[in-house]
């Protein structure tokens, strides 16, 4: 009688948990998300808590809220001392008690005494309160070394997690949704199986042209102005709504014309449209698209994620299409069709889990490659603004000085962890969702 | 099947047309202007040769020579308010302003008249002479009314403002500029010759505002240009220098006037060799690796090989390339391979036979080849592995095993066949990659391949080269996909395209 | 499986065995010089890459040239420097008697006339430099009684007129135009604003401008001692010494040619150059990385085999401030000279030199490099001084009124924060510079937003004055550079190179005087005053001039190093006897 309470989701989760490596990977992913969220607490050159001249401060937390916080204390001589939290050198102050962040460095401040690519294994220097240069106390060591200007690498990695995770997930998210959807359509329906009345077909074609005209053509200048003012995404969304509205409207309109020659059912060669579209898109070198777009729009991470996503979906679509070509001939799909399930349900419920195996691998690698693409983009000066730290920008630092192996090893290791866990989670998901592996 | 292939080949032509047209459109939409680049010298580091300049006329002539003063295609799709001679405007920014103005106000004739009048205001500045004005405003006792600095400042300011007005379509900005210039002209009487033109400009502006018919920008319109357009000349030649794509001529590069055919041909064999060798190398290693990993799933071999392959993938190309150099081309460590290039200038003899040349070049190719290939092992082997695992779980495999067929036969016959689909998909990409290449690897090892060439042409707005690359890559992509689709049907007979 | 392993081992061993890297034969009289990238062609007029003049030094000749030691102009193909008329408009030249083309014929003034016609004709593909010549040379007058004499007629009096021919590479009329197609092309035609092209001219120029004349070695002819024999695109260019060259017995040092062959090897990557120097694969380079050269100099084997040095040179980098913003797109941050001076006090130049260049760079106070003889050394460098900057900003009215640590001021009725964009062409070095500037300025309550972009966009914005502060640089040479293009006020309104909007009538007149003054005292005085004015007005924060890094193999004598680019004279390199008889190392 358990069948009545059987939930596929719960079952899948149970299966997933059985896969040890997938589970560990999931935990690591959660850990990474944690690091991303709490980066300013984990790596900061301001103390988390300190007591100075009788007053307590929580500088790391205060600057989270107000980045230019200034406070003042009265010292013994009665003189007021101004402390601007993000500029003050807290180590120089005579603090009564202090709790430092686990990594006591901010990613954007250069440590003057450890410039010129200091290795994590080298001697590191430090200027103590008596103004002497001594060996660095182990609490303040740069555990992953520094770059040319003296910026701490560990801190950079921590702060870069946020963007690198986002880039990977968002870019691949967009690519997957578009890719799987279009690939499934193309593979499953091919050129002969998607039927619709001729009127609807013609109206849809006209509709596409009109939709783009009114959604983008006419709104060209409104969109450009909106992007430079910051509310670009809203205007883009409105354009999107207009396009959908026109398409839907015209398709509904076509119902009035369902007679005679216009009413005949024709097959829409959707595979040709999608495959040719993929071919055209693939002929464009990504670089040229990005240079063109980035010249028009303001630099921002969101733009880069969208661009990487929009140029990466074709691979996923191709895989999905190939799998669907194979699957649609399989018996159980034919069976589902004959049972009267509509085409869409047949696809979604039965075909998709089978088709997903190579897609998951694609996605897992796609995340890592999105991070690497972001790295070469920032090398070219497109992408995240220069004062934002990402794993990709750290890799670029390693480009200039080969002997600074730590600048490539550690971010490379971070990327390695990312691919591995995504791959394992992907595999775990696939195994969990595959009905044939039911035990 | 033959029918299917024939149909596909027929569709090549419209698709190629679309791809090359897209290339033209992207080129023109890119912000950079090749005419500006060719008329200005500037070293890539941002330091520019101090002596470069080129007059307006030179730029116009250059534009004509490059064939950029023509419309892009036989027709264009726009709104009723769009002008049909916009392509003739020489300055890209002016063209953008005109287009925006006509979009707001709808009436092209008034917009054009207003703009024309503004350029009259601009040219009227050339008749202003500093010395003359200074003299005229100095009274008999040699007391100048205005200092030379002041006069110069005012003239420069006016010139700048007018120029700025020609590059903006923002109504409030234009209003404020009109007002401030009005004030300027009324304060300084020596600017009267400019003021006259300026007043006329104001009149045109008012006219443009009053005759506003912005409804026109909501009505779609197709504008016909006829056969005198850039695409036509690219395809069929212009009767002068270019013979057109139909006769196999891709045109001449903007950067160095070399025929594109020569440029590509001299480099494509290098990229092609790398691609083929790299693919061969990758497949020879990845496929057996993937199969074996799936066969021994979760064993030590599987785990270790997965880790190795992932580590390789995470290492960026520039790092591995330089690492290989420092290890294998370094007199201090191992000196097995040469450092850069594809042949040694002191030893190479152009009269050698093909085999002698290949033997000489072989060591130069090894390190770059490894750098090119190492990251593909991961993806390919994982795909293979996942495909084979998938198949192993199928019922018919169990049946085959139960029937007593040997392990090897089971794997090779059934599993391979059914998991080949993703491999074929990846394989199809080898065709377009033949003309690609990696800028990074080519820079590190100084390989004169297509990667750097393409990158360079994008940075320098070398339109003919960009269009040629698009077209060739497009063509190869289509062939690749056709081959892939045919192979799908061959490998899995259940797949049909009917 | 076993079969598979066998195949793999076989391939790997093949690979290993096939590679034997031989050491270079150092007894050969061949100079291997390093260049960074492939020149975009070696057409005598139509190309402008940096490598061009480096290679042309060996294959082409000009009428006059810059002496690298004295930094004065000396005659090369001409007998002597030109005689100048009173009004400064006529320049009389006479050619040497012993100059011969490759086919044996003599050099005559007709060749010069032909060369100049091509240099300034609108039909030649050299739009980017044509203006420099067509605005100076009005006409060439020939003398039938003396085929070696000619006179250049200039448009105006200018101190650069006598040396205008220093970059004009002389071409042979009978080689390029044997049928005299261009005989009826006159200077009047060329200068006429309604230049009408005849069909014969267009056809001739189409052939002349064709890419083959840029790349085919047999077409790259000139009067120099070497002839290009081989060009592998992207890999190397080989130049072989001519036999029986006309200047073989000349005593002038620039006509002493010792190497049999010069190979210009293209190496694009710093690490590869480093390794090549280690394995003695290069004889001369002026493009090795600073830190790499330091590393090499630590090793005995390098110092035993190479001379190396860090030499000053003429180019410099600066941070430009927009002095005349339009108030709408770009706000009025830097209209007050006090604010600009404060910026100069806030840019940590010495630190930047220390970090980016390992200290191998020098500073200058104004637009002239301190190597030049007209450098105004009465002006003092502006040092990093945060307190002084804060004081200046206070005086200029920029105070932090709303306690957010960014200064602000009421401008045109609106509150404006001192928070602006620092635009630059994206590269690793610029990025570091920008971040260091940002950190330094924050101490004084100035917020800097780094804004990198690709080169074409950057240059476009600079010309259209669409920037607040920008990082840029200018190349330079020992010869006089005309300040008009960079510092004249008309260069600002007309989208020239005066990006920041510097200048007024006074500075314009200084520029005019400097250009027209034939008298060196007058000229020097005007240049001094111009430097002082630029120093006062502070349109640029002058940052640094990086040093050139040169390494030359010790197997050559005459390996002198110079300030002027490229830094050495390859064809002077004389192979030492001790190397001539060496057997190559195993």
Pairing of strands C419-425, A125-127: unpaired
What's the pLDDT at B491?
83
C339 or A7: which leads in pLDDT: C339
Q: Is B336–C493 a contact, with Cβ atoms under 8 angstroms apart?
A: no
pLDDT at residue C263 greater than cutoff 90 = yes
* d(CA C460, nearest CA chain A) in Å: 11
Contact B337 C21 (CB under 8 A): yes
Above pLDDT 70, what percent of chain A? Answer: 85
Chain B residue numbers touching A430 (CB-CB < 8 A): 386
Predicted complex ipTM: 0.83
Q: Which of residues 214-253 of C touch B (CB under 8 A)?
A: 214-215, 230, 232-236, 238
State both tokens at B389. 């695992």
Give DSSP secondary structure letters for C288-304: --HHHHHHHHTSHHHHH
- Nearest Cα neighbor of B244 from B20, B473, B475, B474 is B20
The alpha-helical segments, DSSP class H, found in B211-299 are 230-236, 260-295
Average of per-residue pLDDT across A399-406: 82
Mean pLDDT of B194-215: 86
Which tokens sit at A171? 């870019």
Higher pLDDT, A82 or C258: C258
Are the beta carbons of A148 and C431 separated by less than 8 Å? Answer: no
Percentage with pLDDT > 90 across chain C: 39
DSSP states of B350-391:
TTS-HHHHHHHHHHHHHHHHHHHHTTHHHHHHHHHHHHHHHH
Average pLDDT over residues A210-221: 83
**Phi (first) and psi of residue B453, to 5 degrees:** -60, -45
pLDDT for the residue numbered C229 = 92
Which has more confidence, C583 or B160?
B160
CA C580 and chain centroid, separation: 36
Interface partners of chain B (CB pairs < 8 Å, 3 or more) are A, C
- Residue C109 three-state SS: helix
Question: What are B436-478's pLDDT values in tens digits?
Answer: 778 888 888 999 988 888 888 888 889 999 999 889 988 988 9
Rounded CA separation C60/C49 (Å)? 16
Q: What's the whole-number mean pLDDT along residues B379-391?
A: 82
Q: What is the pLDDT of residues A299-331, one digit of tens each?
A: 677 777 888 888 889 888 988 888 888 877 776
Task: Quote the CA–CA distance of C568 and C555 in Å, as a whole number.
Answer: 15
Please report, for residues B260, B338, C275, C362, the alpha-carbon distance to residue B332 in angstroms, rounded to integers and kept in the order given: 43, 14, 10, 34
State residue A67's pLDDT score.
67
Least confident of A431-435, C41-45, C380-384: A431-435
C390-422 core/surface letters (b: 16 or more CB in 10 A; e: else): bebbeebebebeeebbbbbbeeeeeebbbbbeb
Interstrand relation of C236-241 and C226-232 (parallel, antiparallel or unpaired): antiparallel
Distance CA B476, CA C374 (A): 61
Q: Provide the pLDDT confidence category of residue A354 given band limits of 50, 70 and 90.
A: low
Residue length of chain B: 498
Q: Distances from the Cα of A176 to the Cαs of A179, A203, B212, C174, C442, in angstroms?
A: 5, 29, 46, 67, 43
**A-chain residues near B318 (CB < 8 A):** 399
Using one digit for the tens of pLDDT, what is the confidence trace for A259-304?
777 778 888 888 989 999 998 888 887 777 777 776 666 667 777 7
Answer with the residue of higher pLDDT: B416 or A254.
Answer: A254
Distance (Å, whole) CA C556 – CA C284: 10
A258 vs C434, higher pLDDT:
C434
User: Is residue B378 pLDDT above 60, yes or no?
Assistant: yes
CA distance B173 to B178: 9
A33-56 burial: b if 16+ Cβ within 10 Å, else e: eebbeebbebbbbbbbebebeeee
Q: What is the pLDDT, as a whole number, of residue B49?
A: 43
Whether residue B415 has pLDDT greater than 90:
no
Contact C15 B366 (CB under 8 A): yes
| The pLDDT value given to residue A439 | 39
Is residue A382 pLDDT above 50, yes or no?
yes
Q: Can you tell me the distance from the alpha carbon of A146 to that of C306, in angstroms, rounded to the nearest whole number? A: 32
Q: What's chain C's average pLDDT?
A: 87
| Cα C133 from chain centroid (whole Å) | 17
Token pair of B464 as six digits: 């003919």
Q: What is the mean pLDDT of residues B192-212?
A: 86
User: What pLDDT does A6 receive?
Assistant: 61
Question: Any chain A CB within 8 A of the CB of C83?
Answer: no
Q: Are C303 and C443 contacting, i.e. CB atoms less than 8 angstroms apart?
A: no
With beta carbons less than 8 A apart as the criterion, state whether B102 and B108 touch: yes
Chain C residues within an 8 Å CB radius of B366: 15, 19
E-only strand ranges, B49-125: 75-79
The model's pLDDT over C333-350, given as tens digits with 9 standing for 90+, comes to 999 999 999 999 999 999
Burial zone of C536 (CB within 10 Å; 0-12 exposed, 13-18 middle, 19+ buried): exposed
Of all residues in chain B, the percent with pLDDT exceeding 90 is 2
Helices vs strands, H then E, count in chain C: 21, 23
- Whether B143 has a pLDDT exceeding 50, the answer reads yes
> Which residues in chain B have their CB less than 8 angstroms from residue C494's CB?
159, 163
Which residues 233-292 of B are in CB contact (within 8 Å) with A?
none
Residue C153 dihedral angles phi and psi, to the nearest 5°: -100, 125
| Contact state of C211 with B163 under an 8 Å Cβ cutoff | no
Residue C203 has pLDDT above 80, yes or no: yes
pLDDT of res. C392: 94
Is residue A410 within 8 A of residue A164, CB to CB? The reply is no
How distant is the Cα of A112 from the closest Cα of chain B, in angstroms?
27
> What pLDDT was estimated at residue B45?
30
The residue count for chain A: 439
Q: How sure is the predictor about C130, in pLDDT bands with cuts at 50, 70 and 90?
A: confident
pLDDT-based confidence at C585, cuts 50/70/90? Answer: low
Mean pLDDT of B143-148: 79
Largest Cα separation within chain C, whole Å, is 93
Q: Above 80 in pLDDT, residue A163?
A: yes
When mean pLDDT is compared across A102-116, B33-47, B154-168, C460-474, the lowest value belongs to B33-47
**Distance between CA atoms of B145 and B134, rounded to whole angstroms?**
8
Instruction: Please state, rounded to an integer, the average pLDDT across all residues of chain A.
Output: 79
With beta carbons less than 8 A apart as the criterion, state whether C502 and C539 touch: yes
Touching check for C242 and chain A: CB below 8 Å?
Answer: no
For B353, residues 6+ apart whose C-beta sits below 8 A from its C-beta are none
Range from A30-39, C57-66, C219-228, C249-258 carrying the lowest mean pLDDT: C249-258
Contacts of residue B466 in chain A, CB cutoff 8 Å?
A: 288
What percent of chain B lies above the pLDDT cut of 70? 92
Confidence grade of residue B51 (pLDDT, cut at 50, 70, 90): very low
Residue A98: Cβ within 10 Å count: 16
Which chain C residues have a beta carbon less than 8 Å from that of B148?
A: 504-506, 509
Residue C318 clears pLDDT 90, i.e. is over it: yes
Residue A51 has pLDDT above 70, yes or no: yes
Question: b or e along C453-464 (b: 16 or more beta carbons within 10 Å of the residue's beta carbon)?
Answer: bbbbbbbbbbbb
What secondary structure, in 3-state letters, does chain A show? CHHHHCCHHHHHHHHHHHCHHHHHHHHHHHHHHHHHHCHHHHECCCCCEEEECCEEECHHHHHHHCCCCEEEEECCCCCEEEEECCCCCCCCCCCCEEECCCECCCCCCCCHHHCCCCCCCCCCEEECCCCCEEECCHHHCCCCCECCCCCEHHHHHHHHHHHHHHHHHHHHHHHHHHHHHHHHHHHHHCCCCCEEEHHHHHHHHHHHHHHHHHHHHCCHHHHHHHHHHCCHHHHHHHHHHHHHHHHHHHHHHHHHHCCHHHHCEEECCHHHHHHHHHHHHHCCCHHHHHHHHHHHCCCCHHHHHHHHHHHHHHHHHHHHHHHHHHHCCCHHHHHHHHCCCCHHHHHHHHHHHHHHHHHHHHHHHHHHHHHHHHHHHHHHCCCCCCCCCCHHHHHHHHHHCCCCCHHHHHHHHHHHHHHHHHHHHHHHHHHHHCHHHCC
pLDDT at B390 over 70: yes
Would the pLDDT of C561 be above 70?
Answer: yes
Q: What is the pLDDT of residue C297?
A: 92
Residue B194 has pLDDT above 70, yes or no: yes
Average pLDDT on C396-404 reads 86
Other chains touching A, judged by 3 or more CB pairs under 8 Å: B, C
């Amino acid at each position: 009688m358990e069948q009545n309470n059987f939930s596929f989701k719960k079952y899948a989760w149970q299966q997933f948990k059985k896969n040890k490596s997938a589970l560990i990977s999931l935990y690591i992913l959660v850990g990474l998300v944690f690091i991303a969220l709490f980066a300013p607490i984990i790596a900061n050159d301001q103390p988390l808590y300190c007591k100075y001249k009788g007053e307590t401060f929580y500088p790391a937390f205060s600057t989270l809220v107000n980045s230019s916080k200034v406070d003042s204390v009265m010292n013994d001589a009665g003189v007021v001392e101004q402390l601007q939290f993000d500029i003050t050198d807290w180590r120089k102050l005579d603090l009564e008690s202090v709790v430092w962040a686990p990594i006591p460095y901010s990613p954007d401040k250069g440590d003057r005494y450890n410039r010129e690519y200091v290795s994590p294994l080298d001697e590191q220097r430090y200027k103590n309160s008596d103004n002497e240069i001594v060996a660095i106390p182990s609490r303040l060591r740069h555990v992953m070394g520094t770059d040319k200007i003296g910026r701490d690498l560990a801190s950079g990695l921590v702060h870069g997690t946020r963007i690198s995770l986002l880039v990977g997930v968002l870019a691949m998210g967009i690519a997957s949704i578009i890719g799987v959807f279009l690939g499934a359509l193309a593979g499953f329906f091919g050129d002969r199986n998607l039927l619709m009345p001729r009127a609807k077909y013609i109206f849809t074609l006209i509709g596409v042209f009109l939709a783009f005209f009114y959604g983008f053509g006419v709104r060209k200048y409104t969109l450009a102005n909106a992007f430079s003012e910051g509310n670009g995404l809203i205007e883009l969304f409105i354009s999107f709504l207009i396009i959908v509205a026109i398409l839907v409207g015209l398709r509904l309109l076509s119902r009035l014309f369902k007679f005679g020659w216009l009413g005949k059912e024709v097959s829409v060669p959707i595979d040709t449209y999608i495959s040719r579209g993929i071919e055209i898109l693939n002929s464009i070198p990504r670089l040229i698209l990005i240079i063109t777009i980035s010249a028009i729009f303001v630099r921002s991470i969101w733009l880069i994620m969208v661009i990487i996503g929009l140029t990466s979906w074709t691979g996923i679509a191709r895989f999905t299409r190939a799998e669907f070509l194979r699957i649609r001939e399989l018996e159980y799909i034919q069976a589902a069709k004959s049972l009267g399930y509509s085409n869409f349900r047949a696809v979604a419920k039965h075909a998709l889990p089978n088709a997903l195996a190579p897609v998951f691998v694609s996605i897992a690698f796609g995340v890592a490659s999105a991070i690497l693409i972001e790295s070469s983009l920032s090398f070219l000066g497109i992408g995240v603004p220069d004062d934002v730290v990402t794993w990709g920008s750290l890799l670029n630092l390693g480009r200039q000085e080969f002997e600074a192996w730590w600048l490539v090893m550690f971010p490379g290791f971070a990327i390695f962890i990312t691919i591995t866990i995504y791959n394992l989670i992907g595999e775990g998901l696939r195994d969990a969702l595959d009905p044939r592996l039911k035990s | 099947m033959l029918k299917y292939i024939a149909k596909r080949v027929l569709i090549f032509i419209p698709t190629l047309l679309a791809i090359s047209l897209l290339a033209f459109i992207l080129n023109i939409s890119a912000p950079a202007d090749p005419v500006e680049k060719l008329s200005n010298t500037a070293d890539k580091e941002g330091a520019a040769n101090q002596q470069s300049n080129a007059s307006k006329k030179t730029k116009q002539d250059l534009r004509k020579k490059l064939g950029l003063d023509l419309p892009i295609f036989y027709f264009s799709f726009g709104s009723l308010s769009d002008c049909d001679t916009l392509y003739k405007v020489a300055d890209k920014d002016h063209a953008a302003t005109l287009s925006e103005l006509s979009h707001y106000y709808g009436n092209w004739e008034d917009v054009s008249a207003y703009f024309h009048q503004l350029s009259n205001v601009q040219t009227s500045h050339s008749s202003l002479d500093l010395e003359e004005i200074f003299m005229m405003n100095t009274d008999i006792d040699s007391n100048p009314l205005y200092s030379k600095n002041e006069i110069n400042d005012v003239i420069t300011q006016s010139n700048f403002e007018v120029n700025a007005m020609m590059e903006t379509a923002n109504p409030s900005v234009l209003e404020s500029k009109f007002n401030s210039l009005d004030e300027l002209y009324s304060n300084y009487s020596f600017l009267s010759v400019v003021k006259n033109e300026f007043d006329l400009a104001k009149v045109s502006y008012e006219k443009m505002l009053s005759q506003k018919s912005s409804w026109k920008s909501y009505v779609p319109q197709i504008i016909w240009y006829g056969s005198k357009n850039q695409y036509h000349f690219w395809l069929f030649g212009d009767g002068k220098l270019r013979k057109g794509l139909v006769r196999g001529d891709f045109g001449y590069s903007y950067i160095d006037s070399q025929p594109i055919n020569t440029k590509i041909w001299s480099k494509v064999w290098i990229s092609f060799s790398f691609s083929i060798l790299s693919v061969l190398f990758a497949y020879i290693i990845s496929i057996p690796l993937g199969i074996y990993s799936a066969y021994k799933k979760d064993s030590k071999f599987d785990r270790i090989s997965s880790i190795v392959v992932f580590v390789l993938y995470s290492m960026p190309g520039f790092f591995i390339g330089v690492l290989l150099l420092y290890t294998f081309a370094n007199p201090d460590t191992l000196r097995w391979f040469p450092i850069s290039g594809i042949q040694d200038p002191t030893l190479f003899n152009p009269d050698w036979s093909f085999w002698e040349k290949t033997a000489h070049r072989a060591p130069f190719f090894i390190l770059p080849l490894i750098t090119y290939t190492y990251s593909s092992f991961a993806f390919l082997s994982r795909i293979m592995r996942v495909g084979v695992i998938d198949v192993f779980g199928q019922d018919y495999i169990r049946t085959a095993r139960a029937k007593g067929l040997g392990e090897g036969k089971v794997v090779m016959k059934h599993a391979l066949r059914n998991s080949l689909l993703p491999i074929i998909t990846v394989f199809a990409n080898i065709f377009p990659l033949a003309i690609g290449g990696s800028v990074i690897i080519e820079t590190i090892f100084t390989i004169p391949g297509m990667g750097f060439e393409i990158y360079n042409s994008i940075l320098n707005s070398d339109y003919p080269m960009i269009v040629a690359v698009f077209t060739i890559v497009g063509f190869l992509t289509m062939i690749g996909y056709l081959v892939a689709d045919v192979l799908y049907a061959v490998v899995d007979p259940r797949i049909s395209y009917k | 499986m076993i079969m598979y392993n066998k195949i793999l081992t076989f391939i790997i061993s093949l690979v290993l065995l096939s590679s034997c890297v031989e050491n270079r034969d150092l007894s050969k009289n061949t100079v291997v010089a390093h260049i960074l990238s492939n020149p975009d062609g070696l057409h005598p007029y139509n190309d402008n890459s940096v490598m061009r003049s480096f290679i042309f030094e060996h294959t082409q000749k000009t009428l006059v040239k810059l002496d690298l030691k004295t930094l004065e102009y000396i005659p090369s193909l001409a007998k002597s420097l030109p005689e100048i008329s009173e009004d400064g408009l006529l320049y009389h030249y006479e050619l040497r008697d012993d100059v011969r083309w490759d086919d044996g014929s003599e050099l005559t003034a007709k060749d010069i006339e032909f060369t100049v016609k091509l240099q300034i004709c609108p039909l030649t593909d050299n739009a980017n430099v044509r203006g420099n010549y067509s605005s100076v040379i009005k006409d060439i007058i020939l003398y039938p009684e003396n085929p070696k004499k000619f006179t250049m007629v200039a448009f105006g009096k200018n101190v650069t007129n006598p040396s205008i021919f220093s970059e004009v590479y002389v071409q042979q009329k009978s080689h390029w135009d044997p049928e005299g197609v261009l005989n009826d092309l006159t200077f009047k035609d060329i200068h006429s604003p309604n230049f009408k092209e005849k069909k014969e001219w267009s056809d001739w120029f189409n052939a002349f401008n064709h890419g083959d004349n840029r790349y085919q070695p047999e077409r790259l002819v000139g009067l120099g001692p070497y002839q290009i024999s081989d060009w592998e695109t992207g890999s190397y260019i080989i130049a072989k010494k001519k036999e029986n060259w006309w200047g073989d017995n000349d005593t002038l040092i620039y006509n002493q040619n010792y190497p049999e062959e010069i190979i210009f090897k293209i190496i694009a990557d710093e690490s590869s150059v480093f390794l090549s120097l280690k394995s003695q694969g290069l004889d001369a380079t002026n493009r090795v990385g600073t830190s790499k050269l330091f590393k090499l100099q630590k090793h005995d084997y390098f110092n035993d085999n190479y001379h190396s040095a860090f030499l000053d040179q003429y180019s410099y980098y600066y941070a430009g401030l927009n002095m005349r913003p339009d108030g709408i797109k770009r706000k009025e941050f830097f209209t007050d000279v006090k604010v600009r001076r404060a910026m100069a006090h806030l840019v940590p130049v010495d630190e930047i030199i220390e970090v980016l260049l390992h200290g191998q760079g020098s500073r200058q106070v104004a637009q002239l490099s301190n190597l030049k003889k007209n450098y105004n050394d009465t002006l003092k460098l502006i040092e990093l001084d945060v307190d002084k900057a804060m004081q200046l900003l206070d005086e200029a009215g920029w105070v932090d009124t709303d306690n957010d640590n960014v200064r602000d001021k009421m401008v045109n009725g609106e509150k404006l924060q001192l928070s602006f964009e620092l635009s630059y062409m994206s590269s690793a070095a610029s990025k570091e510079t920008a971040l260091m500037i940002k950190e330094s300025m924050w101490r004084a309550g100035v917020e800097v937003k780094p804004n990198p972009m690709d080169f074409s966009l950057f240059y476009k914005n600079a010309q259209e004055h669409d920037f607040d502060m920008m990082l840029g640089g200018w190349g330079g040479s020992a010869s006089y550079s005309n300040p008009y293009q960079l510092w004249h006020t008309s260069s600002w309104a007309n989208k020239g190179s005066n990006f920041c909007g510097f200048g007024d009538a006074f500075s314009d007149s200084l520029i005019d005087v400097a250009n027209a003054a034939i008298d060196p005292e007058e000229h020097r005085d005007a240049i001094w005053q111009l430097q002082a004015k630029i120093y006062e007005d502070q349109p640029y924060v002058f940052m640094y001039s990086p040093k050139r890094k040169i390494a030359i193999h010790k197997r050559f004598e005459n390996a002198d190093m110079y300030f002027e680019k490229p830094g050495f004279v390859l064809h002077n390199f004389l192979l030492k006897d001790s190397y001539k008889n060496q057997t190559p190392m195993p």
